Amino acid sequence: MRLTYLMGLWMALSLFCSSQSMAAVKAYRASILHFVADPARYGDQAWQYFQDGALVVEDGKVKEVGNHSDLWQKFREAEWIDHSGRLIVPGFVDTHVHYPQTEMIAAYGEQLLEWLNTYTFPTERKYKDYDYARRQSRFFIDQLLRNGTTTALVFGTVHPESVDALFDEASRFNMRLIGGKVMMDRNAPDYLVDTPETSYTESKALIQKWHGRNRLLYAITPRFAPTSTPEQLTAAGKLKSEFPSTYVHTHVSENPNEVAWVKSLFPERSGYFDVYEHYGLAGDRSIFAHGVHLTDAEFDRMAATRSSIAFCPTSNLFLGSGLFKLFPAMEKGIRVGMGTDVGAGTSFSMLQTMNEAYKVVQLQGQKLSSLQSFYLATLGGAQSLGLDDKIGSFKTGNEADFVVINWGATALSKLRTRNSKTLQDKLFVLLTLGDDRHIFETYVDGKRVYRAK
C-alpha cells in the first residue's frame, strides 16, 4: 500500500518535471534559411534552406534546425508555434550605426565634413543628459527590433551618459549589443570634446562597468583620425592593449576631402589606415566603417591585420561619398559586414541596406546575389565582429536571435513574390521591395521582443 503510494508520487513528480522541461522547449515551423559560410566561396555548401522547416529553441539557445517532418517527431512535447508560409532567418547584424543620429536622419544637402558640423555635432550635444539619452535609446532599440536587427555595433556620443543609457536600455532585452563612448579631442566644437586623459579614464570606467556584462560588449570609439590628437590615439591604443577583448570602432576613408585632411594632419604616416595601425588600433576586433577610398595597399594591410570593414551603402550614396569596392575587399580576405550608418544612412532596415548594396555593386559592373546579401547581413556581419560562435546562424548552441519575415507584406511584394520560381528570386524581391513592414516578429535571447500589429 505504502509502496504503491510512493511509486505513484514518484511517477507524478517525474511527469511534472518532464512536462516542465519540455515546456521550456519551443519549436517554430516556417521556411528557414541560414548560412554556415560565405556562398561566394563555398557555393551551395554555404547555406541551408528548409522549405517546411523547424527551429527548436531552449533556454535562449538554438537546440536544432531541420525539416519539420523530422523534428516534429523528435520534439513532440515542445510548444509548437506555426509560422508556415513565413521565412525565419537569423537576426540581422548592423555593424555600424550612430544611435544619437536617429533624430537627424535625412538631413539635406551636405557631404561628410560639412554634414558633421551643420547637423551632427549640435544634435550630439544633447546626449550629456542621461534621461534624454535614455528616451532616445529606447526609440533607437525599438527601431532596430522592428527591422529585425538583433545585434548592432553602435556609436554613442562623447558623453559617458550616452553609453550608460544605451546599455541600460539594451539590458531590458538582454541584447548582444556593442557600443562605446566617442573619443574626440580636436576639430570639433568646445562643447563636444574630451581630452586624452578624460577619454582614457571615462572609457576605462565604461569598459569595467559594461564589457562582458550579460551579452553587452564595449568598443573603444575614436570618432575618426581628424578629431583625435596623436596623444588621444595613443590613449586609445593603450586601452586596447590593456583590454584586448574589447573592440575598436571608427571610420576610415569615407570621403576624398576627409582622406586629404588626414594626410595633412598625419604627414608622417603612409596613409589613412596606417594612422590607426600605427597607434595599435588595427586587429581582429577592429571594425572600420566605409573604407570607400582605401588603396589596394591599404586593403592588404587590413587583411594582414585581420581588421573588418562595415559596408554602409545607403550612407555612401546619401552623402555622395563613393562606391565601396565590395568584391575586391572580400577577395583580399577582409571580413565585411553591412552597416546602416544611420543618420547618414537613410534606413534602419537591413533589407533596404541590401537593396542599396546591390546598386552600389551594379554601378561597378558586378552582381551581388541575394544569397550573398543575406549572408552579409547575418553570418557575414557576425564573422566581421568575431561573434560567429554565438550569433549569425542556427548552429546548435548559438544564441537564439531570429526574425520571422512575411514575404508579401505589401500588395506589390505579394504580387511579385507570387511570380517567383526560385528561392534566390524570392529573396531578391524581398530585399529589393522589403522594409520594416515585412518583419513580422523579432526574437532576442529566445524571447519575442517585437510583433507587427
Q: Which residues lie near Zn ion (CB under 5 A)?
A: 289, 341
Residue whose C-alpha is closest to residue 122's, from 100, 106, 141: 100
Residue 289 vs 338, nearer CB to Zn ion: 289
Cβ 289 to Zn ion, closest distance in Å?
Answer: 5
Residue 40 vs 323, nearer CB to Zn ion: 323
Sequence letter at residue 101: Q
Cβ 276 to Zn ion, closest distance in Å?
Answer: 15
Residue 253 vs 417, nearer CB to Zn ion: 253
Residue 293 vs 390, nearer CB to Zn ion: 293
Cβ 311 to Zn ion, closest distance in Å?
Answer: 12
Sign of CA dihedral 366, 370, 372, 376: positive
Residue 62 belongs to what H/E stretch?
strand 61-67
* φ, ψ (nearest 5 deg) of residue 262: -60, -40
Residue 296 belongs to what H/E stretch?
helix 296-304
Cβ 98 to Zn ion, closest distance in Å?
Answer: 6
Residue 235 vs 289, nearer CB to Zn ion: 289
Sequence letter at residue 5: Y
Residue 237 vs 343, nearer CB to Zn ion: 343
> 343: cis peptide before it, omega within 30°?
yes
CB-facing half-sphere around the CA of 249: CA atoms within 13 A: 31
Cβ 183 to Zn ion, closest distance in Å?
Answer: 14
Cβ 418 to Zn ion, closest distance in Å?
Answer: 38
Which distant-in-sequence residues (6+ apart) come within 8 Å of 426 by Cβ?
Answer: 407, 417, 420
**Three-class SS of 196-217:** HHHHHHHHHHHHHHHCCCCCCE
Query: CA-CA distances (angstroms) from residue 299 to 95, 96, 202, 221, 357?
Result: 19, 19, 32, 21, 19
With beta carbons less than 8 A apart as the criterion, state whether 254 and 321 touch.
yes
Cβ 315 to Zn ion, closest distance in Å?
Answer: 7
Q: What gap in Å lies between CA 291 and CA 199, rounded to an integer?
A: 25
Residue 66 vs 322, nearer CB to Zn ion: 322
Name the residue whose CB lies closest to Zn ion: 341
Cβ 96 to Zn ion, closest distance in Å?
Answer: 6
Residue 98 vs 211, nearer CB to Zn ion: 98
